Protein backbone atom coordinates (compact mmCIF):
# COMPACT_ATOMS: atom_id res chain seq x y z
CA UNK A 1 0.00 0.00 0.00
CA UNK A 2 1.41 3.36 -0.94
CA UNK A 3 1.64 6.03 1.69
CA UNK A 4 -0.96 8.42 0.20
CA UNK A 5 -3.46 5.55 0.24
CA UNK A 6 -2.67 4.79 3.89
CA UNK A 7 -3.24 8.44 4.81
CA UNK A 8 -6.46 8.53 2.77
CA UNK A 9 -7.80 5.47 4.62
CA UNK A 10 -7.07 7.00 8.00
CA UNK A 11 -8.97 10.11 7.00
CA UNK A 12 -12.11 8.29 5.93
CA UNK A 13 -15.19 10.29 6.88
CA UNK A 14 -13.27 13.56 7.07
CA UNK A 15 -15.10 16.27 5.14
CA UNK A 16 -13.17 19.35 6.16
CA UNK A 17 -9.99 20.64 7.74
CA UNK A 18 -8.85 23.09 10.33
CA UNK A 19 -5.36 24.19 9.43
CA UNK A 20 -2.77 25.78 11.66
CA UNK A 21 -0.59 28.46 10.07
CA UNK A 22 2.90 28.74 11.56
CA UNK A 23 4.82 25.52 10.93
CA UNK A 24 2.12 24.14 8.61
CA UNK A 25 1.57 26.60 5.76
CA UNK A 26 4.51 28.90 6.38
CA UNK A 27 7.59 29.07 8.53
CA UNK A 28 9.96 31.96 9.19
CA UNK A 29 8.17 34.14 6.65
CA UNK A 30 8.27 31.64 3.78
CA UNK A 31 5.62 29.21 2.54
CA UNK A 32 6.32 25.58 3.39
CA UNK A 33 7.06 23.48 0.30
CA UNK A 34 3.82 22.40 -1.38
CA UNK A 35 1.59 24.46 0.93
CA UNK A 36 0.46 27.04 -1.64
CA UNK A 37 -0.53 24.29 -4.10
CA UNK A 38 -2.33 22.36 -1.35
CA UNK A 39 -4.38 25.38 -0.27
CA UNK A 40 -5.32 26.08 -3.90
CA UNK A 41 -6.26 22.42 -4.28
CA UNK A 42 -8.49 22.50 -1.17
CA UNK A 43 -10.31 25.51 -2.62
CA UNK A 44 -10.72 24.13 -6.14
CA UNK A 45 -11.84 20.73 -4.81
CA UNK A 46 -14.35 22.63 -2.59
CA UNK A 47 -13.13 20.91 0.57
CA UNK A 48 -14.26 23.03 3.54
CA UNK A 49 -11.34 24.46 5.48
CA UNK A 50 -10.45 27.27 7.86
CA UNK A 51 -7.12 28.48 9.07
CA UNK A 52 -6.97 28.57 12.85
CA UNK A 53 -4.04 30.23 14.50
CA UNK A 54 -2.86 31.22 17.94
CA UNK A 55 -0.43 33.63 16.30
CA UNK A 56 -0.85 36.94 18.04
CA UNK A 57 2.09 38.83 16.59
CA UNK A 58 -0.12 40.51 13.99
CA UNK A 59 -3.72 41.42 13.24
CA UNK A 60 -5.95 39.23 11.13
CA UNK A 61 -5.76 41.63 8.17
CA UNK A 62 -1.95 41.69 8.37
CA UNK A 63 -1.91 37.87 8.38
CA UNK A 64 -4.12 37.87 5.26
CA UNK A 65 -1.71 40.31 3.57
CA UNK A 66 1.28 38.19 4.60
CA UNK A 67 -0.31 34.99 3.26
CA UNK A 68 -1.37 36.62 0.01
CA UNK A 69 2.14 37.96 -0.55
CA UNK A 70 3.17 34.28 -0.46
CA UNK A 71 0.48 33.37 -3.01
CA UNK A 72 -2.19 31.74 -0.81
CA UNK A 73 -5.10 33.96 -1.99
CA UNK A 74 -7.10 34.06 1.25
CA UNK A 75 -9.38 36.65 2.84
CA UNK A 76 -10.31 37.48 6.43
CA UNK A 77 -13.24 35.04 6.44
CA UNK A 78 -10.80 32.14 5.87
CA UNK A 79 -8.95 32.89 9.10
CA UNK A 80 -9.89 32.47 12.75
CA UNK A 81 -7.22 34.00 14.94
CA UNK A 82 -6.97 33.77 18.70
CA UNK A 83 -6.59 37.55 18.91
CA UNK A 84 -9.77 38.23 16.93
CA UNK A 85 -11.58 35.60 19.02
CA UNK A 86 -10.38 37.36 22.21
CA UNK A 87 -11.76 40.66 20.89
CA UNK A 88 -15.05 38.94 20.04
CA UNK A 89 -15.20 37.54 23.58
CA UNK A 90 -14.66 41.02 25.07
CA UNK A 91 -17.36 42.58 22.86
CA UNK A 92 -19.78 39.92 24.07
CA UNK A 93 -19.13 41.04 27.67
CA UNK A 94 -20.61 44.48 26.88
CA UNK A 95 -18.92 47.85 27.20
CA UNK A 96 -15.63 46.74 28.74
CA UNK A 97 -12.10 48.12 28.80
CA UNK A 98 -8.84 46.24 28.58
CA UNK A 99 -5.12 46.61 29.06
CA UNK A 100 -3.55 44.85 26.08
CA UNK A 101 -0.06 43.39 26.18
CA UNK A 102 0.64 42.63 22.53
CA UNK A 103 2.25 44.02 19.44
CA UNK A 104 0.87 47.33 18.20
CA UNK A 105 -0.61 45.77 15.03
CA UNK A 106 -2.82 43.41 17.07
CA UNK A 107 -4.69 46.43 18.50
CA UNK A 108 -6.47 46.63 15.11
CA UNK A 109 -8.38 43.46 16.02
CA UNK A 110 -9.70 45.22 19.16
CA UNK A 111 -11.44 48.19 17.52
CA UNK A 112 -14.38 49.41 19.57
CA UNK A 113 -12.83 48.26 22.86
CA UNK A 114 -11.36 50.90 25.16
CA UNK A 115 -7.67 50.04 25.47
CA UNK A 116 -6.64 53.42 26.93
CA UNK A 117 -7.51 53.18 30.59
CA UNK A 118 -5.81 52.98 33.96
CA UNK A 119 -8.71 51.01 35.43
CA UNK A 120 -9.28 48.14 32.99
CA UNK A 121 -11.91 45.42 33.38
CA UNK A 122 -9.55 42.97 31.69
CA UNK A 123 -5.85 42.40 31.16
CA UNK A 124 -5.30 40.68 27.81
CA UNK A 125 -1.95 39.13 26.95
CA UNK A 126 -0.74 38.08 23.50
CA UNK A 127 2.66 37.41 22.00
CA UNK A 128 5.62 39.74 22.21
CA UNK A 129 8.90 38.00 21.72
CA UNK A 130 10.77 41.04 23.08
CA UNK A 131 9.29 40.21 26.51
CA UNK A 132 6.77 43.11 26.73
CA UNK A 133 9.07 45.27 28.85
CA UNK A 134 9.10 44.92 32.59
CA UNK A 135 7.14 48.12 33.18
CA UNK A 136 4.20 46.73 31.17
CA UNK A 137 4.28 43.44 33.04
CA UNK A 138 4.25 45.27 36.36
CA UNK A 139 1.28 47.37 35.22
CA UNK A 140 -0.55 44.22 34.12
CA UNK A 141 0.19 42.59 37.47
CA UNK A 142 -1.15 45.60 39.39
CA UNK A 143 -4.36 45.72 37.34
CA UNK A 144 -4.89 42.02 37.97
CA UNK A 145 -4.17 42.45 41.65
CA UNK A 146 -6.78 45.23 41.73
CA UNK A 147 -9.38 42.85 40.30
CA UNK A 148 -9.12 42.99 36.51
CA UNK A 149 -9.95 39.65 34.85
CA UNK A 150 -7.16 37.89 33.00
CA UNK A 151 -7.39 36.78 29.37
CA UNK A 152 -4.61 34.94 27.56
CA UNK A 153 -4.93 35.03 23.79
CA UNK A 154 -3.26 31.63 24.03
CA UNK A 155 -0.87 29.76 26.30
CA UNK A 156 1.63 28.25 23.89
CA UNK A 157 4.89 27.10 25.42
CA UNK A 158 7.10 27.84 22.43
CA UNK A 159 7.28 29.15 18.91
CA UNK A 160 9.87 28.92 16.17
CA UNK A 161 11.75 32.06 15.21
CA UNK A 162 14.24 32.17 12.33
CA UNK A 163 17.03 32.08 14.93
CA UNK A 164 15.56 29.15 16.87
CA UNK A 165 12.95 28.02 19.35
CA UNK A 166 11.64 30.82 21.57
CA UNK A 167 9.52 31.02 24.74
CA UNK A 168 5.86 31.53 23.94
CA UNK A 169 3.36 33.65 25.83
CA UNK A 170 2.57 30.68 28.11
CA UNK A 171 5.42 31.35 30.52
CA UNK A 172 4.30 34.95 30.97
CA UNK A 173 0.72 33.85 31.52
CA UNK A 174 1.85 31.54 34.32
CA UNK A 175 4.03 34.27 35.79
CA UNK A 176 1.24 36.85 36.01
CA UNK A 177 -1.33 34.30 37.13
CA UNK A 178 0.98 33.18 39.92
CA UNK A 179 1.95 36.65 41.08
CA UNK A 180 -1.57 38.07 41.09
CA UNK A 181 -3.13 34.76 42.19
CA UNK A 182 -5.89 34.91 39.59
CA UNK A 183 -7.58 32.55 37.15
CA UNK A 184 -6.88 32.79 33.42
CA UNK A 185 -9.37 32.63 30.57
CA UNK A 186 -7.50 31.05 27.65
CA UNK A 187 -9.01 31.94 24.29
CA UNK A 188 -6.97 30.20 21.56
CA UNK A 189 -6.24 26.56 20.80
CA UNK A 190 -6.69 24.14 22.53
CA UNK A 191 -9.67 25.76 24.27
CA UNK A 192 -12.99 24.11 23.61
CA UNK A 193 -14.68 27.44 22.83
CA UNK A 194 -12.14 28.28 20.14
CA UNK A 195 -12.57 24.94 18.39
CA UNK A 196 -16.36 25.24 18.69
CA UNK A 197 -16.20 28.63 16.99
CA UNK A 198 -14.15 27.10 14.18
CA UNK A 199 -16.45 24.07 13.79
CA UNK A 200 -19.45 26.39 13.62
CA UNK A 201 -17.74 28.33 10.85
CA UNK A 202 -17.08 25.09 8.95
CA UNK A 203 -20.64 23.92 9.57
CA UNK A 204 -19.38 20.39 10.26
CA UNK A 205 -19.47 18.12 13.29
CA UNK A 206 -16.20 17.19 15.06
CA UNK A 207 -16.08 13.65 13.63
CA UNK A 208 -16.15 15.12 10.12
CA UNK A 209 -13.13 17.35 10.71
CA UNK A 210 -9.38 16.85 10.96
CA UNK A 211 -7.05 19.43 12.42
CA UNK A 212 -3.62 19.79 10.80
CA UNK A 213 -1.03 21.30 13.12
CA UNK A 214 2.61 21.29 14.11
CA UNK A 215 1.89 21.78 17.83
CA UNK A 216 1.26 18.40 19.43
CA UNK A 217 -0.54 19.83 22.45
CA UNK A 218 -2.55 22.80 21.12
CA UNK A 219 -3.36 21.34 17.71
CA UNK A 220 -3.22 17.55 17.75
CA UNK A 221 -4.28 16.70 21.31
CA UNK A 222 -6.62 19.72 21.41
CA UNK A 223 -8.44 18.47 18.30
CA UNK A 224 -8.59 14.89 19.56
CA UNK A 225 -10.15 16.03 22.83
CA UNK A 226 -12.91 17.66 20.76
CA UNK A 227 -13.56 14.42 18.87
CA UNK A 228 -11.78 15.58 15.72
CA UNK A 229 -8.88 13.77 14.09
CA UNK A 230 -5.48 15.20 14.90
CA UNK A 231 -2.96 15.32 12.07
CA UNK A 232 0.61 16.07 13.11
CA UNK A 233 2.66 17.94 10.52
CA UNK A 234 6.36 17.37 11.19
CA UNK A 235 7.19 20.57 9.28
CA UNK A 236 7.25 22.88 12.28
CA UNK A 237 8.49 23.23 15.83
CA UNK A 238 7.88 19.65 17.05
CA UNK A 239 9.72 16.55 15.89
CA UNK A 240 8.32 13.04 15.41
CA UNK A 241 10.23 11.95 18.52
CA UNK A 242 8.22 14.45 20.60
CA UNK A 243 5.08 12.29 20.14
CA UNK A 244 6.52 9.64 22.46
CA UNK A 245 8.04 12.22 24.80
CA UNK A 246 4.66 13.90 25.28
CA UNK A 247 2.72 10.64 24.99
CA UNK A 248 0.52 12.05 22.22
CA UNK A 249 -0.71 9.75 19.44
CA UNK A 250 -1.68 11.66 16.31
CA UNK A 251 -4.25 9.96 14.08
CA UNK A 252 -2.02 10.71 11.12
CA UNK A 253 1.57 11.92 10.85
CA UNK A 254 2.58 13.79 7.70
CA UNK A 255 5.89 15.26 6.57
CA UNK A 256 4.09 18.40 5.47
CA UNK A 257 0.64 19.58 4.32
CA UNK A 258 1.27 18.51 0.70
CA UNK A 259 0.75 14.91 1.90
CA UNK A 260 -2.95 15.77 2.32
CA UNK A 261 -3.22 16.80 -1.33
CA UNK A 262 -1.30 13.68 -2.43
CA UNK A 263 -3.64 11.49 -0.38
CA UNK A 264 -6.78 13.25 -1.60
CA UNK A 265 -5.95 13.54 -5.28
CA UNK A 266 -4.42 10.04 -5.36
CA UNK A 267 -7.80 8.60 -4.60
Sites of contact with Mg ion (CB under 5 A)? 20, 22-23, 214-215
- Of 109 and 215, nearer to Mg ion (C-beta) is 215
Least CB distance from residue 212 to Mg ion, whole Å?
Answer: 10
DSSP-H helix ranges across 111-253? 134-145, 170-180, 192-202, 222-225, 241-246
Burial class (CB in 10 A: 0-12, 13-18, 19+), 108: middle
- On whether the CB atoms of residues 229 and 6 are closer than 8 A, the answer is no
SS (H, E, C) 91-104: HHCCCCEEEEECCH
What is the smallest separation between the CB atom of 112 and Mg ion, expressed in angstroms? Answer: 29
Query: Which H/E stretch holds residue 184?
Result: strand 184-186
The C-alpha atoms of residue 252 and residue 217 are separated, in whole angstroms, by 15
Cα separation of 121 and 39, whole Å? 40
Q: How far is the CB of 143 from Mg ion (least distance, A)?
A: 30
Based on CB atoms, which residue is closest to Mg ion, 120 or 188? 188
How many CB atoms are closer than 10 A to CB 55?
25
Nearest approach, Cβ of residue 218 and Mg ion (Å): 8
**Is the peptide bond between 185 and the residue preceding it cis, with omega within 30 degrees of 0?**
no
Q: Minimum Å distance from CB 121 to Mg ion? A: 31
Tell me the residue number closest to Mg ion, measured at CB: 23
Q: Which is nearer to Mg ion, 215 or 259 (CB)?
A: 215
Q: Count other Cβ atoms within 10 Å, centred on residue 75.
A: 10
Question: Are the C-beta atoms of residues 8 and 40 closer than 8 Å to each other?
Answer: no
Closer CB to Mg ion, 24 or 98, in the complex = 24
Give the residue with the Cβ less far from Mg ion, 120 or 236: 236
At its nearest, how many Å lie between Mg ion and the CB of residue 169?
13
* Identity of the residue, 20 or 121, whose beta carbon is nearer to Mg ion in the bound complex: 20
Amino acid sequence: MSRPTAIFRKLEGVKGYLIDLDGVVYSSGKPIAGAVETVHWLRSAEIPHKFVTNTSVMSRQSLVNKMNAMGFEVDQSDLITAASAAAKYLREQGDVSAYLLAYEDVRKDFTGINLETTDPDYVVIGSRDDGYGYEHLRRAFRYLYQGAKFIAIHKNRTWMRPDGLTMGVGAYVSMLQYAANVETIIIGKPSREFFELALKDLNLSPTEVAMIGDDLESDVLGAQRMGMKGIFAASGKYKRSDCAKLDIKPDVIIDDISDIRKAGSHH
